[in-house]
Amino acid sequence: MTEFMYRFRPVKRLLGEKNNDGELEGQYIYFASPEQLNDPLEGYKDIYFHGDQIIWKNLIKHYLRCLINTCFDLVQKIDEVPTRRIDVFASAESATEAMNELNLEIFETLTSEPCINEFISKIGVDRKVRRWELLSHLQILHFYFFETILEALHEKGVIAKPAKQNTSERKKILEQLKTLLPKLVIDANATKQQENEFLKTYQRNSERQLLTRYRTYGKGKEYWFFVHIEFPEVFCREIERLMYPSWYTACFMSSCSDSSIWGSYGGYHQDVCLKFKTEKEQNKTALTLTAPCGEDMNGIVWSQVKHTFHEVSYEKSFVDIDYFRSLGHLPIPVLMNTWFRDENNAISNCAEQMFTDEKSWRTSYWENFYHSATVKLSAWDREKESRLIQTSMMRSLENSDLRKLRYDFNSLEGIIFGINTTMENKIKIIKKIEELCTKHKRQEFSFYQSRYDESSREIMHDKLEVIRVGYKEPLA
């Protein structure tokens, strides 16, 4: 990597707006969530599910627990707009005794039906199940599970829906399941064509969901639609949060000479590019930032941390990750009781490496994480991107203020104006830098003007030698 790293920023973010301090005044670098970036495949993992009967049964139990909790929310929020978030961290440890008894009672009711019990015992054993297949299975089981939960809640006086109507609907769904479920179980010799059928099933179901929502749009009961129709797909997405901590990133580039990059990230060449001096940390390029590192009786503790730049690969494939063997974001008691142990205290073989060779497992676990966070399709290779990564290891970082990490003002070597940066914005930025130089007693700061270079057919930047901004010691 180069001695300098470049970061395109909108002028309005640097200077601030609506009485909010900008990034220059605050001397911070903002770390964005993957959802805030412009590539929908940020952090994409090619997840598969490969486990024994113990862990598959526990997956279905966990699905049921999450669905029961959401049904309780449904009672109070039926007319609200859902956030489409599920508390996938729910567990027996965090639930009341009554809720755990209800979960067990409903699960036993479900598995008392031979077709469902047999299906759960055979799903995915001895083969890799991709997310589309898992989703297809859950979508098929979901309506029966949902009606069974509603009937149980009615019996306990939680909801007022007539049990007779509910029971009739449940029986009708069960008859369909008896015919359908045996056809869905495929063994270890499954062909690619068989597996692709589940993707087609997902696509058809998505179309039906859209059509159903189109027909009911504006008629209320959005929360009902979420629980009744969308829940399986949201669950399959949300359970990824059990694998790794949430992560956030600040994007840099090794060059700022590409005109198309200036046109997109540089706001049609009207914004600017920050030029940062980097450091070396164990033969890696880094930047020192003040980050939240813990808590004490006074609140959040901030300290200086060298953040390593991770170079983005545009050639690697997305990483294959075994879901059941990558559940690293859970406390050990929850991991064992919710996922790895059955009712007879037998342990799933998915726990073997994690507990017999923890060092090797942890190395592979974090390699997969950084692989997923630093791979993009080749269509993005003009960016020449490297990124700093912040993870929510000790506490939630959903509060954006915890993702504004301050840099040493001396790390900012200079600012490059775009070809179309307005005179007004240039003056505002120069004035702000002049204030910061005085505040930090910095004697020199570099400004650059970008231009098109005919010989290289690239965007070059020239240092503005006449404009001299810096702190001057007062005369004695």
What is the DSSP secondary-structure string of 270-283? TSEEEEEE-EEETT
Torsion sign (Cα): 132, 137, 140, 145: negative
Phi, psi dihedral angles at 20 (to 5 degrees):
-100, 135
pLDDT at 351: 94
Regarding predicted confidence, which is higher, 156 or 322? 322
For residue 91, give the amino acid letter.
S
Nearest CA to 133 out of 73, 228, 56 is that of 56
Cβ neighbourhood burial of 446 (10 Å; 0-12, 13-18, 19+): middle
Regarding predicted confidence, which is higher, 437 or 219? 437
pLDDT at 174: 75
pLDDT at 166: 55
Q: Kindly tell me if the per-residue pLDDT of 143 is higher than 90.
A: no
Q: Kindly tell me if the per-residue pLDDT of 476 is higher than 60.
A: no
Q: Measured between alpha carbons, how far is 231 from 158 in angstroms, rounded to an integer? A: 21
| Average pLDDT rounded to a whole number, residues 357-385 | 96
Torsion sign (Cα): 248, 47, 81, 39: positive
Query: Within a 10 A sphere around the Cβ of 414, how many other Cβ atoms?
Result: 19
The full length of the chain comes to: 476
Q: Kindly tell me if the per-residue pLDDT of 296 is higher than 90.
A: no
Q: Measured between alpha carbons, how far is 176 from 164 in angstroms, rounded to an integer? A: 19
Cβ neighbourhood burial of 73 (10 Å; 0-12, 13-18, 19+): middle
CA 114 to chain centroid, in Å, comes to 38
| Average pLDDT rounded to a whole number, residues 454-471 | 91
Starting at the edge strand that comes first in sequence, how are the strands of the sheet with 129-130 ordered? Answer: 129-130, 46-49, 320-322
Nearest CA to 172 out of 203, 196, 197, 148 is that of 148
| Average pLDDT rounded to a whole number, residues 155-179 | 70
Q: Cβ(30)–Cβ(403) under 8 Å? A: yes
Q: For residue 165, what pLDDT band results from cuts at 50, 70 and 90?
A: low
- At residue 288, the 3 state secondary structure works out as strand
Q: For residue 202, what pLDDT band results from cuts at 50, 70 and 90?
A: confident
Residue 267 — left, alpha, or beta (φ > 0 → left; ψ -120 to 50 → alpha)? left
Looking at 179-188, 273-282, 388-397, which range is the least confident one? Answer: 179-188
- Interval 264-288: pLDDT, tens: 999 999 999 999 999 988 889 999 9
| Residue 341, token pair as written in the block | 């142990």
pTM of the model: 0.90
For 251, residues 6+ apart whose C-beta sits below 8 A from its C-beta are: 7, 32, 37, 385, 387
First to last CA, the chain: 45
| Average pLDDT rounded to a whole number, residues 211-237 | 84
Q: Measured between alpha carbons, how far is 257 from 384 in angstroms, rounded to an integer? A: 11
What angle separates helix 53-77 from helix 231-238, to the nearest 10 degrees?
120
Q: For residue 183, what pLDDT band results from cuts at 50, 70 and 90?
A: low
The H-or-E segment that residue 26 falls in is: helix 23-26
pLDDT at 25: 94
